[in-house]
Structure 1
């Protein structure tokens, strides 16, 4: 091992506690909730994309039709992204219009688009995700009846909220512990109720460098509040990945990479830092190797705190013995295919990587915190007399972190 070890962590206690919690307190309600969400994941897919609309203020009404022309749902979107959750083994088409006069009805002079004359959009167990960008224009004539076949509902099981640069604050209810736990045990419910994406704390400012924070499992943007309190907001702007931590990490990585690339296309910033805690480190490394990001050169710094680079044996035990397994457990289990994939290639050469960990971390074994391939890529390694959570509140850690950023720019 490359880093000298002076402490042996009692990480086996984490395995025992996790199993006891999952096999006693979590049963049966939590696992019943998880099993329902797993069933929804197994039987549904996602159709998502960008709404290219001539007016960025007026809402868009989007109707999902089945192959027989029967309406599945009509949804209202106020941003330039949409996402629909629909059963697999079905084919669909989409019709959308922009409600310029805000009357909730389609008027022939309003921008619209339809895919119903094209090849049906087929969701299957082998093709669960489709990206369909929709360009609304006044050149397309849509039969009025197509826009009225469904009653419009603000809240619907079909709608998934995508957050790309929405402004929030730390008092947002979705950042609380209830949603953090829901993200692990009921990830589909989380997506329907809270959404997924990147939150800002202030409008984008081209003079400031974005710092993208990624929390760990059962975490939230609140985990980074001590960092934000110490942040020089005249130089940096904080962005937060808000996501359900129970989903497969590959899906979470692809979503974050796509949204980050979308924000880069929108704002053309030249510099960025990616900062991640615990399981978030696996997602952070994944996005830096994703083609959407790796082919660019705007990320300069990657900082990880207490990341389980080699995985957790406890996750393997949970998969084996729990009544139902959270999907992300498969990716954080020791030597998982996801972990192998993110270490198949080195980080892009333009990225400076910094590895930070705590000697008192009882959640992750030291051999995983200091996984040799991660150490070899690190520009510097920092060890602290901190635990898995306390490392995010340590004044010394936070000082060192901002020194890293200040040295980079």
Structure 2
């Protein structure tokens, strides 16, 4: 029997159906109570067989993995340096008890930039240093930095904007002793989790065995290997990236045939490697974070995405929640994706003594699957659907590709969105190496390139900006271009501090009011009129002056099971504020949310005005000090929290969770 290297489903199904088929005749003669016992025993035997088949696997370990994942928080931010630095960086979260510290999680970056750490519920601190000699040990002469305040992790979701600046400050001011050493774990050498790291496909970390570990032990995998978008070669702006996303228990090595058939003169290969046992929403948000940082660095104009099996669910979740920020995605092609979910996952969630987090998302009647097609894909994306049907039909299993049923692969809303649908006489594994699939894939790439090759006339903008009184990490500016011509939508672009003095583009030709928005700073001038045309790059100067600011949003109501580590919590769609009050440092301000059409939040921030609209709020021009924030909303208990405001220091970014009245 041919087994999937990228999904456990076929193996699972085979074991289950063999166990059931061998006793079908006997079951007809068993009393109902005994039959229920027999079915439960079948499940336990199945799970035991699965665990015995996996080295080091046990029910106890699976239980602990699930508990840890649903009681942890992912911390994300960016590492920058006061002086030029092109060597590795180590960043760590640690807990402190008296004078003793305990490293909770650490990550290795091949250069300064974005990072991710995962921590349990509780108070943690952040530390990073430039590892000049690559010994994974903090030496006295190496630049280092700490986050200025402890981070209170709730045991769920994500805390963002935890940025650190590495300087040559004396080591005794940092709280982490010189000589502290960080292990590479089971990996033979430090493994970079910085977006855009160059990968060697034969490295054991990318093996099939490692991919399976990411399914059965997602927490362990994430702590050792992380989750990342890797390159096979240095970035080339002349070639379009194609991002490949594997499925459950898969690895980048599943894509070898595709990698070999990609025309490297026109395209460059990227792949997203992640713990596939983690929740789909969590991995979709991680994919957003990786592509966001790659876009900041490389300013690529388009990217194509190809996903296999459960990877298609990750990509669609990413596009639904964050696709508006990525108009660069021009092609999404899914292969053998279970758009309708997997009934065995639902059975496992209900009856298994240990549940892998991604099973929750694979339930056909679960929240994730039921919301997957509630919204369409963002405009401008060509979506193609590939499916396989060489799996036959079983007494207890409908027609499938050997792993995923045809009904799940061909869910009606997925078909409705597809530009074209292609079926192949391949199973769940062979479809990734089929010559017919490769030929059709190349034809689609060529067609998409022709349709997206020529765009509207465009130009660029050279932005020159500086930060006054800046001592810590520099927050990311947001460029807002509002067309003077009526009827055209505004253009928004996230920038890096390193973009100062660079040309930013392409930008559609036209006349705009340009402004820059930066957390904890006010901008002078507030806006400038610019004319952008083909072959032109007008220069605009801005200056950022520190100001005290406090901004945030109320997150949607979600169950704990739907908000595990790393999961994106969207803004609340219907919350109605009665009032939002901020008191402290001699100030007392109360916001009453404005109505629809009464101004614009970005404009008000740039203009130096407090604002509240929908689930969002912001206070600006605050003096330094400690404040108490009180939120009253219809149907919820009053919310109160303390915040320290320092001009020029942007705060942690996390959604506010309100408690409903019962």
Query: When the two structures are superposed, what TM-score results if normalisation uses the length of structure 1?
Result: 0.86
Decide which structure has greater strand share.
2
Higher relative CO (Cα under 8 Å, sequence separation at least 6) belongs to 1
Structure 2 residue 184 is the aligned partner of structure 1 residue 155: yes
Secondary structure at the counterpart of residue 58 of structure 2: helix
Q: What 5-or-longer segments of structure 2 have no aligned partner?
A: 1-9, 20-42, 391-400, 450-662
Which secondary structure state, in structure 1, belongs to the residue aligned with residue 175 of structure 2? helix
Q: 1:198 aligns with which of 229, 239, 248?
A: 229
Asked if residue 346 in structure 1 is aligned to residue 386 in structure 2, the reply is: no
The answer as to 2:333 corresponding to 1:332 is no
Cα pair distance change 1:280/1:95, threshold 3 Å? closer
Shift of 1:278: 0.7
Q: 2:65 aligns with which of 23, 37, 43?
A: 37
- Mapped partners of 1:212, 1:186: distance in 2: 24
Task: Give the alignment partner of residue 56 of structure 1, picking from 85, 88, 96.
Answer: 85
- 1:222-272 superposed Cα distances (whole Å, 9 cap, x missing partner): 111111111110001111111111001110110011101211121111111
1:296 aligns with 2:320: no
Change (3 A) 1:47 1:153: same
Native 8 Å contact 2:304 2:330 kept in 1:
yes
Name the counterpart of 1:81.
114
CA RMSD after TM alignment = 3.0
- CA deviation vs aligned residue, 1:254-313 (integer Å, no higher than 9, x gap): 00111012111211111111101111110111111222x322310001101111101111
Q: Which residue of 1 aligns with 2:470?
A: none
Question: Per the alignment, do residues 242 and 147 of structure 1 end up closer, same or farther by CA in structure 2, a change over 3 Å counting?
Answer: same
Q: 1:344 to 1:136 in 2, by over 3 A?
A: same
Structure 1 contact 216–277 (Cα < 8 Å) conserved:
yes
**Aligned residues of 1:113 and 1:134 also touching (Cα < 8 A):** no
Match of 1:146 among 175, 178, 182: 175
Asked if the contact 1:44/1:87 (under 8 Å) is kept, the reply is yes
Are the counterparts in 2 of residues 112 and 138 from structure 1 also a CA contact under 8 Å?
Answer: yes
Residue 124 of structure 2 corresponds to which residue in structure 1? 92
Alignment length, in residue pairs? Answer: 392
1:272 to 303, 311, 319: 303
Cα shift readout 1:171-226 (whole Å, capped 9, x = no counterpart): 11122221122111111111122221111111111111100001111111111111
CA contact (8 A) 1:30 1:185 kept: no
Closer/same/farther in 2, CA of residues 232 and 20 from structure 1, 3 Å limit: farther
Match of residue 23, structure 1, among 47, 53, 78? 47
Partner of 2:337: 307
Change (3 A) 1:178 1:21: farther
Q: Does 1:366 align with 2:406?
A: yes
User: What is the DSSP-based 3-state SS (H/G/I as helix, E as strand, rest coil) of the residue aligned with 1:399?
Assistant: helix
How far off its partner does 1:128 sit?
A: 4.6
Unaligned runs of 5+ in 1: 1-9
Asked whether the 8 Å contact 1:213–1:274 carries over to 2, the reply is yes
| Deviation (angstroms), 1:395 | 0.4
Superposition deviation, residue 43 in structure 1: 4.2
Please say which structure displays the higher CA radius of gyration.
2
TM-score by length of 2: 0.55
Q: Is the 8 A contact 2:107 2:117 kept in 1?
A: no
How far 1:48 moved relative to its partner?
Answer: 2.6
**Aligned pair 1:114/2:146, yes or no?**
yes
**1:47, CA displacement in angstroms?**
2.2
How far, CA to CA, are the matches of 2:11 and 2:413 in structure 1?
A: 21
